[in-house]
A = this chain, B = another copy of it.
Amino acid sequence: MSDRTDAAVQPTSLPEPPYYAAIFTSLRTDDDPDGYARTAEHLSRLVREVPGFLGEDSARTPGGLSVSVAYFRDLAGIERWRDHPAHRAAKRSGRERWYERYAIHIARVEHGHAFSRHSPTGGRPE
């Protein structure tokens, strides 16, 4: 629901593991692009208010696949977002109109590392 193409262009920085990731991959229909965009924008604000939300990385290949990852401190945060009424309503609209197909993977992150050209020792390079 959050594969906006105007997402931040920098990868989210890393919390201490363990944390959780909700991986959402999707392929859109051509139906109702305005309704989809409005809802995606609304949800991207709502998720920031969910206790335990840590951040989000999102990309969309034009005309192709979207891959979005939302990070949460714990499984309870993921469940709060899954059960959020606005999110549930959006998922129904997604199945009815917006998505050709999608997949969700709920995962516990056990390791993470990061690299930044401008602070090569500031991240946690492999």
- Please list the residues of chain A having a beta carbon within 8 angstroms of any beta carbon in chain B: 3, 5, 7-14, 21, 23, 25-27, 29, 57-69, 71, 82, 91, 94-95, 99-118, 120, 123, 125-126
Contacts and interface: CB of A to CB of B under 8 A. Distances in A.
Contacts of A110: 106-108
B95 A105 contact: no
- A interface SS class: strand
B113 A99 contact: no
5 contacts: A58-B67, A82-B126, A94-B115, A103-B115, A106-B109
A107 B109 contact: yes
B12 A103 contact: yes
A23 B21 contact: yes
A103 B113 contact: yes
Contact of A27 (B9, B105, B108): B9
A126 B111 contact: no
